[in-house]
Amino acid sequence: RKQFFNRFGQPISTFRQNDLVVVKISLSSTDGSPVENVVVTDLLPASFEIENPRLTEPRDMPWIQAPTVPDHFDIRDDRISYYTTATSESKTFYYMVRVITKGTFTLGPVSADAMYSGDFRSYSGGGKVKVD
């Protein structure tokens, strides 16, 4: 599941150009059994640009408690992917995006797919995003 927050940890649903937005993605196994080799992919609207944590200094956001460290992550222009194992305990990933362009854009869903077992998958969210 996906949620948007401002830098102070308050949930947001409206976006303005040049906003820094924290994206929270949560993952857990619904039946409690572990599912290995899961890729969690978040498709971004064209108005969002990922703040690459490999290139920028970490920002001080004390409200983010115990973020999950993925086995691996991959950043592309239009998406971010986390590789992990889904368990009954919820895993939470955070990343930041900068809102760069005004307009109305398509927001892709966040997906979780077991890479080697097509029986395990989840898709959530999607829709439209308006940037003022």
- Predicted confidence at residue 125, as pLDDT, reads 86
- Distance of alpha carbon 112 from alpha carbon 122, whole angstroms: 5
Instruction: Please give the model's pTM, rounded to 2 decimal places.
Output: 0.92
- Distance of alpha carbon 120 from alpha carbon 56, whole angstroms: 34
Phi-psi region of 17 (alpha: psi -120 to 50; beta: other; left: phi over 0): beta
Work out the mean pLDDT of the chain and round it to a whole number: 92
- Distance of alpha carbon 80 from alpha carbon 65, whole angstroms: 21
- Predicted confidence at residue 57, as pLDDT, reads 64
Cα distances from 111 to residues 18, 80, 129, in angstroms, run: 26, 11, 18
**Per residue in 97-120, pLDDT tens?**
999 999 999 999 999 999 999 899
In the chain, which stretches have pLDDT less than 70? 56-58
- Distance of alpha carbon 99 from alpha carbon 68, whole angstroms: 24
